[in-house]
A and B are shown apart, each in its own frame.
Chain A
Amino acid sequence: MEHIRMPKVENVRLLDRLSSRRAVVGTLYLTATHVIFVENGSETRKETWVLHSQISSIEKQATTATGCPLLIRCKNFQVIQLVIPQERDCHDVYISLIRLARPVKYEELYCFSFNPKLDKEEREQGWKLVDLNEEYNRMGVPNSYWQISDVNRDYGVCDSYPTEVYVPKSATAHIIVGSSKFRSRRRFPALSYYCKDNNASICRSSQPLSGFSARCLEDEQMLQAIRKANPGSDFIYVVDTRPKLNAMANRAAGKGYENEDNYSNIKFQFIGIENIHVMRNSLQKMLEVCELKSPSMSDFLWGLENSGWLKHIKAIMDAGIFIAKAVAEEGVSVLVHCSDGWDRTAQVCSVASLLLDPYYRTMKGFMVLIEKDWVSFGHKFNHRYGNLDGDPKEISPVIDQFIECVWQLMEQFPCAFEFNERFLIHIQHHIYSCQFGNFLCNSQKERRELKIKERTYSLWAHLWKNRSDYLNPLYRPGHSQTQGTLHPQIAPCNFLYKFWSGMYNRFEKGLHPRQSVTDYLMAVKEETQQLEEELEVLQERLANLQRSQSGNNKVKSKQQDKSKQFGLYTSNNSLANTPQEYSNDLKSFPSRSPSQGDEDSALILTQDNLKSSDPDLSANSDQESGVEDLSCRSPSGGGCLPSEDSGKDSDEAVFLAG
């Protein structure tokens, strides 16, 4: 691998951000796909794996007496602080990582080398898990109002749209093409969600090229057609998700928004969601607050407010709530757009869909929702999440904000979602990881050209396979919260929006609740299921017993097994932890005995006892991915991890990779 100047550095220190006392010494490895830090000594051999595609920035800080500090910030909000003894080594690692973290060709991305050892058929099955045709049928289209249009079959009208889009039946090809010429990047109004109970729909597009006075008959007819597709209502809402000022400024560039005088029967509405640049800066500011070393409460709250992040989240939610209300309560169709119709529009349409339709609150439905509103409608994943080296001004946490909106809703409606917080966190992780092909490129057209489905694997199949890890134990299909539309509290509600430490301080386990209610309840439910099965067997056996008098030994031994399993989650649950630095005053006072130190680390270990599908496992992160990757590339063919005592061969195996 020509970009790796320095495949291995020894005696590197990994600092703990919360406690300077807890630095560990180990060896740093650079491979074709990962940065790996392996702790020295002890039988535990804790490892930290970071995918190159997760690296968002690398900072080389001034050399100190102890070495040269290197700060790696990741897109999944992990921050890694290393101290490398030699300045020269540090520089080499730095230069290598800069290049590795910014691939220039799609082929360099991890998903093209990632091999989960599935055969061709399994891979194809994986890609078929989410099927948008099926989804539109589920919604109730095509029907007498809506039909599929093939006007974009060769991406001839709009290259960022999918080939198959639903449009009102009365919208002819002529109207569509005409309308598309009057819209930014030719993104004409198309169906996002259809409510079969009352025929109201959510449509999406980009801004009209109206300038100060321009009109387009076909575009006006297009909006008429949308209105007519909902006979129950005599108008439609047109929602421009931008702040009014921004929309007005666009008019000077020949773009803009719909003039109510030109379109019959529309009600026009601005909803002020800020643009990608404001959002990028807001996240940056919030992350600075998250990174503060032992901040005071005021530092934290003030910084959080100053970042404006929660205000932006609320703005997106408010837009979604407005649209859901229009569709569900007023029975009015809505056309949503922003500028290009691929960022704010995607956020708002998907939040509204989620509020309206309980299906999207199931695990499968949520995958479908992302596939529908984000992937198929040309959300620019590559540009927004910086998968390939590109313009840093294009990067913005657009889908991160949508994911957070879902989390905020989960906090307010704890029984409404089939999936749990971990599911959201892992989706966020993989939007940046490039381990799966789902989120590559900027459009369906690019993905087809790249033959993503033949060359990579689908994230959805991977998550589905591990779905038991992602279940919300409180979800019950018959529960009232899983029915119908969700109505979040509108006012007063500011206090309902909370900082999501599970995401933004995700890797600082010490900050999170030490016992997980979700995991506990899932373990109980699992056991309940076993009990049900055993009970069934027993009842059967009992019935037999009444007939014959033999054989109760087997049952008894089974019963013992059960109690052992029960003990498993009991011990997990009663884990301890270690104190933080509550005071500086203690440092100079009696040092701890070594036995206490051992106890600490043992305790930390139990704490790290995480689910195997968890990508943030620091002990053996990317278990399938990383290990598989190394083994398939290693000339010696061994699946062993880089290790101090496994000698030179295996080291070479790692670094000659790629």
Chain B
Amino acid sequence: MEFAELIKTPRADNVVLHCPFHLAVEGTLCLTGHHLIFSSRRQDNAEELWLLHSNIDSIEKRFVGSLGTIVIKCKDLRIIQLDIPGMEECLNIASSIEVLSTLDSVTLMYPFFYRPMFEVLEDGWSSFLLEQEFEHLSSVTNEWRLSYVNKEFSVCPSYPPVAIVPKSIDDEALRKVALFRHGGRFPVLSYYHKKNGMAMMRSSQPLTGTNGRRCKEDEKLVNSTLRSGRRGFVIDTRPLALAQQARAKGGGFEQEVHYPQWRRIHKYIERFHILQESFIKLVEACNDQSHNMDRWLSKLEASNWLSHIKELLTAACLAAQCIDREGASVLVHGSEGTDSTLQVTSLAQIILDPRCRTIRGFEALVVREWLQAGHPFQQRCAQSAYSNSKQKWEAPVFLLFLECVWQIHRQFPCSFEFNEQFLIMLFEHAYASQFGTFLGNNENERAKLKLPQKTMSLWSWVNRPEELSRFQNPLYEANSLVIWPSVAPQSLQLWEGVFLRWNRPSKFLEEAEEERINIIKYNKELQAKLNSHVMAEGR
């Protein structure tokens, strides 16, 4: 397919661009296969706007006489308006954008066409291998092994080819366990707490069904993570009633009789469409132009977004508390084990493991607990909060995770190596990107698409020193402790950096960040200067 066929009007002049908090500018609009490009003619302000078609969530058009107006709502929640003279031009442009922003085939996406302008110092596709993680683990314990049972993706299609499992469980047993777990997602190691040797495992629900099916291998696997005489916690991300209902559909939960050393705790973390609706309502409230204070708070409340944040953080804190304070191992699952499960296990690691609060460590966490663990990014992030089409797989699961990290970051502003911009960048790239990292729904699909060969990894770009410097938190001081966030409503705030990003003047806040950076920078300069003086004097 040629993109040119889809673009009837590749260029329009005298177009006026309206962005919030900016004066309207006149310029030229160009459409390419993957971008909408607007460049102003003014000499003093020759700024260009490049917008990926894949970032466009919805488009509306309206006419006043022959002047057409297109309102473009983006997945990063930005809204821009273009006034295009000429009805035909406007209609052509609108229909091209509509088609180009909703292409079906993954291989037509921009990452397959993107050619980086920078030299690749380190190939991000091989920056975070599970083998490296295992090597790190082997230095502290020998209770675990690497299993290649899923090498061909035949045991579990949504798992990576390699997994960390208890040493005492062989591949044959894993195959049997996989048959007993939804989607073949057998329990694997998610996190090992060096401080006390406790483990956090994740899986999907057991397929007990209504007649209470059991699987000896599964019981053995789960129990093998316990020290003798100790007990563990199963954190089920569904309420008990939902877990019971799941039995009718062949699912279920670990029953006490068969897992006597385990205690189940049910938490309620919302799923798919409920989260998506909440996301849409929240963004609607944030874009509300009314002056009424009451309406803002009740709309914020009605969106339930912050309730989801609170529930999620609470569940993650509970998992971390079981491990660090109760000295117990933990198994986390919901139904499929690809959404709420990953939210809980990854957030618990942010709380427990100082490594995950560094830039490198956080990237590794996203790769390990989200990408390799088979969170279906392509389905979940296909549309954002402005989409009108009713597709049922979209959900801001990853965004909720990022926001929870931000909430913890806000409470411990000096304990993270990265800044808020880093989290916002990940949100943007999960929804639309020139990089192949978030394409596909799991490692299996990524292998079939040959993403590592055909596209550039986000990490190849982010980890370049000049990019990294934008994402560093100037206040960072390594904090080796467990950090317990408060989950009280008074402690949680709306993530303005994402939700109000385009609706508030950011100048004063940016100036404040600049001041913070300068204060630290100047201090470091003086220290360096002093040290060099002392050395000079020493000589």
Contact = CB atoms under 8 A, between A and B. Distances in A.
Interface of A: 18, 290, 294-302, 304-305, 308, 310-311, 314, 412-416, 473-474, 476, 479-481, 489, 491-499, 501, 505, 508, 510-515, 517, 520-521, 524-525, 527-528, 531-532, 534-535, 538-539, 541-542, 545, 552, 555-556, 559, 562, 570, 573-580, 582-583, 585-586, 589-590, 592, 596
Given A297-B309, A308-B294, 17 more contacts: A300-B489, A301-B301, A301-B306, A415-B515, A492-B291, A495-B296, A511-B488, A515-B414, A524-B520, A524-B523, A528-B526, A542-B537, A570-B477, A574-B415, A586-B321, A589-B231, A592-B326
Interface stretch (B33-41, B140-148, B491-499): B491-499
A412 B511 CA distance: 11
B132 interface: no
B487 A582 contact: yes
A585 B265 contact: yes
Q: Which 8 A/B pairs are nearest by Cβ-Cβ distance? A: A300-B489, A305-B297, A414-B512, A494-B296, A301-B301, A576-B481, A311-B293, A531-B526
Contacts of B491: 501, 511-512
Interface stretch (B162-170, B381-389, B405-413): B405-413
A479 B488 CA distance: 36
Contact of A577 (B484, B487, B516): B484
Interface stretch (B48-56, B249-257, B501-509): B501-509
Contacts of A314: 293
Interface stretch (B66-74, B79-87, B204-212, B527-535): B527-535
Given A495-B500, A580-B317, A586-B321, A534 B298 contact: no
A531 B527 contact: yes
A296 B268 CA distance: 13
Contacts, number: 226
A562 B294 CA distance: 53
Given A495-B286, A515-B414, A524-B519, A559 B509 contact: no
Contacts of A479: 511, 515
Contact of B533 (A294, A299, A538, A573): A538
A456 to B, nearest CB: 36
Interface of B: 231, 263, 265, 267, 286-298, 300-301, 304, 306-307, 309-310, 314, 317-318, 320-322, 325-328, 410-415, 475, 477-484, 486-494, 496, 500, 503-505, 508-509, 511-512, 515-516, 519-520, 522-523, 526-527, 529-530, 533-534, 536-538
A528 B519 contact: yes
A511 B492 CA distance: 9
A583 B318 contact: yes
Contact of B488 (A298, A494, A580): A580
Contact of B483 (A414, A511, A514, A521): A514
A310 B482 CA distance: 35
A592 B483 contact: no
A413 B318 CA distance: 37
Contacts of A575: 481
A301 B326 contact: no
A350 B427 CA distance: 42
Contacts of A489: 504-505
Contact of B293 (A310, A577, A578): A310
Contacts of A512: 486, 491
A496 B300 CA distance: 13
Contacts of A556: 534, 538
Nearest to B292: A494
Contacts of B288: 492, 494
Contacts of B516: 474, 517, 521
B326 to A, nearest CB: 6
Contact of A592 (B325, B515, B526): B325
Nearest to B295: A494
B515 A555 contact: no
A20 to B, nearest CB: 15
